[in-house]
């Protein structure tokens, strides 16, 4: 991706990356962008490593299409807020919220007055 050994060392040691490195790191959160970066850096990587990275990113893209909740729902504004005192210093995780609701539904039963319908909850 164009990051040197020193950039990795500083990042893993917990130091703040430069603005350019930070933007690069944030940009590869999306698997499609990660694939673009891997292809752009393919001359630095081995062919086996490139195919392994691309196949892993592609599996994440495929997995995203099998998620039960709507992908557009996961783009809630609060999810992109940086951690602060208003959100408990954590980013919103819809997967954890979903699992919490499932847990209480299984252990409490009759959690809802009416059965939940995916279209009516939101």
User: Is 84 found in the same domain as 59?
Assistant: no
User: Is 101 found in the same domain as 57?
Assistant: no
User: Is 24 found in the same domain as 41?
Assistant: yes
Q: Which domain holds residue 120?
A: 70-122
Interatomic CA distance for residues 24 and 8, integer angstroms: 12
The pTM score is: 0.46
- Say what the pLDDT of residue 116 is: 60
User: Is 60 found in the same domain as 14?
Assistant: yes
Please report, in tens digits, the pLDDT of each residue of the chain (122 residues total): 666 667 767 777 777 777 777 777 777 778 888 888 888 888 888 889 889 988 988 888 887 766 555 555 555 555 666 777 776 777 777 788 888 888 887 777 666 666 666 555 55
User: Is 83 found in the same domain as 58?
Assistant: no
User: SS3 letters for the chain?
Assistant: CCCCHHHHHHHHCCCCCCHHHHHHHHHCCCHHHHHHHHHHCCCCCCHHHHHHHHHHHHHHHHHHHCCCCCHHHHHCHHHHCCCCCCCCCCCCCHHHHHHHHHHHHHHHCCCCCCCCCHHHHC
Report the number of distinct structural domains present in the chain.
2
User: Is 82 found in the same domain as 59?
Assistant: no
User: Is 51 found in the same domain as 21?
Assistant: yes
- Say what the pLDDT of residue 37 is: 84
């Amino acid at each position: 991706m164009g990051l040197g050994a020193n950039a990795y060392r500083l990042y893993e040691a917990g130091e703040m990356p430069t603005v350019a490195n930070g933007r690069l790191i944030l940009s590869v959160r999306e698997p499609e962008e990660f694939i673009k970066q891997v292809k752009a850096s393919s001359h630095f990587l081995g062919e086996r490593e490139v195919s392994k990275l691309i196949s892993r990113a592609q599996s994440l893209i495929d997995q995203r299409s099998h998620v039960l909740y709507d992908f557009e729902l996961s783009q809630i504004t609060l999810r992109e807020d940086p951690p602060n005192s208003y959100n408990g210093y954590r980013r919103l995780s819809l997967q954890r919220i979903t699992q919490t609701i499932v847990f209480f539904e299984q252990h409490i039963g009759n959690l809802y007055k009416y059965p939940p319908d995916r279209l009516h909850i939101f």
